[in-house]
Chains A and B, each alone.
Chain A
Amino acid sequence: MSALSNWSWDYDGWIVLAGILCAVAASLPGNFLLLRRMSLLGDAISHAILPGLAVAFLITGSRSSLPMFLGAVIVGLLTAVFTEWIRNFGEVDEGASMGVVFTTLFALGLVMIVQAADHVDLDPGCVLYGSLETTTFDMVNVAGTEIPRVVLVLAAVTVINLVVVVLFFKELKLSAFDPALATTCGISARLMHYLLMIIVAVTAVASFESVGNILVVAMFVVPPATAFLLTERLRSMIIVSALIAAVSATLGHVSALVVPSWFGYRSTSTSGMMALCAGILFFAVSLFAPQHGVLIRILRRQRLSRRILSEDLIALLYRMDERKSGVVASIDQLRAALLSGGLMSSLLMKQHARKGHVIATANGYQLTDSGRRLGAELVRSHRLWEQYLVSEGGVAVDRIHGQAEQLEHFTGRELRDRLQQETSAPVLDPHGSPIPPE
């Protein structure tokens, strides 16, 4: 970790703080953008503000940041307004209208810049992508402490966003979930839309000016998306997204220092690494999230199909045993009847043998008493369901087996008793097979 030996709280601390503030400020409105399926709007706005910056300067001739800030925010808002117009008047798909507007504005900005910058060998990259590394170059004295201007600006934006989100939580939520209802409730969905657009534009411009646009575009989308996979309530989603944003910002700066050193390079772009870290966090969460994680879901599905197969094996053995008591069935017989894989079936039968449900003999497997009890329960569920489907559901007899086959695996003692009651305790199922007693 030699790359961290130069860590200085006066320098790196401020950078991390600026990154965190930018990330949190962006992730707050980002949640609503995500839920309204407008995740790309942040990207669109941060590209589109280019002509705003140029025009504001050319009109006022002032170098102070305020006119530029206002110009950019106005153009950012116009992006949203134009997108809305083209969508409504032209009946163009939202994504497409966004694409038309922001690329046009960006091109316009580029023309203005290049038009004017005849002899300057200007790299627009440093205009657009900014850099967090220069955070501490511009310090402001506040109450005796030297604080980077960037941190002050971003802190103000974070507070504004926080206030808006808390104050209008209910309205933002409703107009994202069901705009039609919002309008009937007297909460204008359009008004909320533009309120959201204002804070998105302010955040984009403030961050653009100080830390470049990669970070803010990523933080509009990625932390809310990560939080969406982890939570089931909007409130917790917003809190978690802010936390994730802060963590990725911190990790981002550290890895910007550390990772390149592994390959013998000096540190790299901090905001780029912050975006990348957020992406890595997202990927990890998408795999391992407890409820909606991809791996968890695959595992869950596999465990379920294993359980079902294991139960099917015992039920099959029970049915064979019903016809001929003490029957011994080989694994191949069982497999052929269930059309299942050989390896999995024999593994599961060995498991049953270990649990004492069956005894392994030279010719195959034989049910024990405990196995017979287990089989009886399953077969009882199956046949009760069949009876229920015929007598209560009015399903044709030739179509009940498949449904009962699925239901039997999810039927406990209590449900069986209720089935028994509702079907008035039958002895035989619709096919004429006996229903085993409990």
Chain B
Amino acid sequence: MSGSIAQPPNNTLPLSVRDLTVAWYRKPVIWDVGLDVTPGQLVGVIGPNGAGKSTFLKAIMDLVPRASGRIEIFGQSYKRSRHRVGYVPQRESVDWDFPVSVLDVVTMGLYGKIGWCMPVRRHHREAALRALERVGIGEFANRQISQLSGGQQQRTFLARALVQDADLYLMDEPFAAVDAATEKAIVQILREMKQAGKTTIVIHHDLHTVPEYFDSVVLLNMRVVASGPTETVFTRDNLEKTYGGRLTLLDEATEAMRRRERTL
């Protein structure tokens, strides 16, 4: 059941997933997921807790074994096209006490380009600094990373993804527990990336902001409930199918839709 965001014109789609089934201990976590993402889209993946959103991203990057299915990134396996993929993990996935500066972390995005055993040169650091300034935390470049707030840490990750200069970005909850200013800044950057022709897939939690942030959404609850342009897919009916009858959430979403309508 391939919920397709657009019909595939050719095989150079940034991401094409077929029949993906992933299971832990016999129990499927995601099930027969199919998805095509066209270039230059900002895609939100939403769904309830335990719906397999993170597993979906990890499966794309071959980090979890899959029971069936095929995944193509720009028409190739992940292994062969991984230099075109930028991953922004959840903040907790690294040790923030690690003795490196903010600039160092951003420069790490360039290590693949710098090459084995070659030292980091000044122009690499300058590129990293530009990325940091772009996300608005240039003045913290020389701080040790544990001295950053949650929002600043998330911006650091974003800057690192920027210098990587990938074509497809996978972001695992970049908006989790960040302040309002950071959220705005991140959205701004995501839009700029979209304009530059990058494709970004973002796991998102906050239904309020979905219509405002994303061109397309994928409603995921073990399987793709619906996917496509936000206006047509982000409906009360589909949300009910994704989240069940949890009223508060639905009210939130309805409220969000109403706001969206007002702004249109």
Q: Mark A162-194, 1 if CB is under 8 A from B, else 0.
A: 000001101101101110111111110000000
- The stretch of B3-11, B114-122, B251-259 in contact with A is B114-122
| CA–CA, A178 and B89, complex, Å | 10
Question: Do A178 and B94 touch (CB < 8 A)?
Answer: yes
B93 within 8 A of A: yes
B74 CB → nearest A CB, Å: 14
Question: Do A187 and B99 touch (CB < 8 A)?
Answer: no
Contacts of B98 in A (CB 8 A): 35, 176-177, 234
Closest to A173 in B: B100
| CA–CA, A236 and B101, complex, Å | 12
Contacts of B100 in A (CB 8 A): 173, 177, 233-234
**Interface set, chain B 220-236, CB cutoff 8 A to A:** none
Question: Do B114 and A177 touch (CB < 8 A)?
Answer: no
Contacts of A237 in B (CB 8 A): 99
Contacts of B83 in A (CB 8 A): 184-186
B183 CB → nearest A CB, Å: 15
B108 within 8 A of A: yes
| CA–CA, A186 and B108, complex, Å | 12
A231 within 8 A of B: yes
| CA–CA, A176 and B100, complex, Å | 11
| Complex partner residue of A185 from B94, B111, B117, CB under 8 angstroms | B111
Size bracket, chain B contacts: 20 to 34
**Interface set, chain B 85-111, CB cutoff 8 A to A:** 85-87, 89, 93-95, 98-101, 104-105, 108-109, 111
Contacts of A183 in B (CB 8 A): 82
Question: Do B82 and A174 touch (CB < 8 A)?
Answer: no
Question: Do B94 and A171 touch (CB < 8 A)?
Answer: no
| CA–CA, A282 and B150, complex, Å | 31
A414 within 8 A of B: no
| CA–CA, A181 and B166, complex, Å | 12
B99 CB → nearest A CB, Å: 5
A228 within 8 A of B: yes
Question: Do B111 and A177 touch (CB < 8 A)?
Answer: no
Contacts of A170 in B (CB 8 A): 111, 114, 117-120
Question: Do A174 and B108 touch (CB < 8 A)?
Answer: yes
B245 within 8 A of A: no
A232 within 8 A of B: yes
Closest to B144 in A: A232
| CA–CA, A176 and B104, complex, Å | 13
Question: Do B111 and A180 touch (CB < 8 A)?
Answer: no
Closest to A232 in B: B144
Closest to B161 in A: A181
Question: Do B112 and A184 touch (CB < 8 A)?
Answer: yes
Closest to B110 in A: A185
Question: Do A184 and B82 touch (CB < 8 A)?
Answer: yes
Contacts of B99 in A (CB 8 A): 35, 228, 231-234, 236-237
**Interface set, chain B 53-105, CB cutoff 8 A to A:** 61, 63, 82-83, 85-87, 89, 93-95, 98-101, 104-105
| CA–CA, A168 and B117, complex, Å | 5
Contacts of A173 in B (CB 8 A): 100, 104, 108
Contacts of B85 in A (CB 8 A): 184
| CA–CA, A176 and B108, complex, Å | 12
Query: Given known contacts A180-B63, A233-B100, is B111 in contact with A187 (CB within 8 Å)?
Result: yes
A13 CB → nearest B CB, Å: 34
Question: Do B94 and A186 touch (CB < 8 A)?
Answer: no
Question: Do B95 and A185 touch (CB < 8 A)?
Answer: no
Q: Mark A231-243, 1 if CB is under 8 A from B, else 0.
A: 1111011000000
| CA–CA, A196 and B254, complex, Å | 55
| CA–CA, A369 and B145, complex, Å | 44
B54 CB → nearest A CB, Å: 13
Question: Do B93 and A232 touch (CB < 8 A)?
Answer: no
A94 CB → nearest B CB, Å: 15
| CA–CA, A188 and B117, complex, Å | 13
A36 CB → nearest B CB, Å: 9
| CA–CA, A167 and B101, complex, Å | 20
Question: Do A180 and B87 touch (CB < 8 A)?
Answer: yes
| Complex partner residue of A181 from B101, B108, B118, B120, CB under 8 angstroms | B108
Closest to A236 in B: B99
Most chain B CB neighbours (cut-off 10 Å) among A181, A233, A234, A236: A181
Contacts of B86 in A (CB 8 A): 184
| CA–CA, A233 and B104, complex, Å | 9
A388 CB → nearest B CB, Å: 14
Contacts of A236 in B (CB 8 A): 99
Closest to A234 in B: B99
Question: Do A185 and B63 touch (CB < 8 A)?
Answer: no
| CA–CA, A167 and B82, complex, Å | 25
Closest to A31 in B: B99
Most chain A CB neighbours (cut-off 10 Å) among B61, B93, B98: B98
Closest to B82 in A: A184
Question: Do A181 and B87 touch (CB < 8 A)?
Answer: yes
A411 CB → nearest B CB, Å: 18
Contacts of B119 in A (CB 8 A): 170
**Interface set, chain B 131-183, CB cutoff 8 A to A:** 144, 160
B187 CB → nearest A CB, Å: 20
Closest to A178 in B: B94
Question: Do B89 and A167 touch (CB < 8 A)?
Answer: no
Most chain A CB neighbours (cut-off 10 Å) among B85, B93, B100, B109: B100
| Complex partner residue of B112 from A177, A185, A234, CB under 8 angstroms | A185
B145 CB → nearest A CB, Å: 9
Question: Do A177 and B144 touch (CB < 8 A)?
Answer: no
| CA–CA, A364 and B111, complex, Å | 67
Question: Do A186 and B82 touch (CB < 8 A)?
Answer: yes
Query: Given known contacts A180-B87, A228-B99, is B111 in contact with A167 (CB within 8 Å)?
Result: no
| CA–CA, A176 and B114, complex, Å | 18
Beyond the given A173-B108, A178-B108, A180-B87, please list 15 additional residue pairs across the A-B interface where CB-CB is below 8 A. Answer: A35-B95, A35-B99, A180-B61, A180-B93, A182-B111, A184-B86, A185-B108, A185-B112, A186-B82, A187-B111, A232-B101, A233-B99, A234-B100, A236-B99, A237-B99
Q: Measuring CB to CB, which residues of chain A are less than 8 angstroms from any residue of chain B?
A: 35, 167-168, 170-171, 173-174, 176-178, 180-187, 228, 231-234, 236-237
Q: Which 8 residue pairs are nearest across A and B when measured between Cβ atoms?
A: A185-B112, A232-B144, A185-B111, A237-B99, A234-B99, A186-B112, A167-B117, A177-B98
Give 10 pairs: A residue, B residue, CB < 8 Å, sorted on A: A167-B117, A170-B117, A171-B117, A177-B98, A177-B105, A178-B93, A184-B61, A232-B144, A233-B144, A237-B99
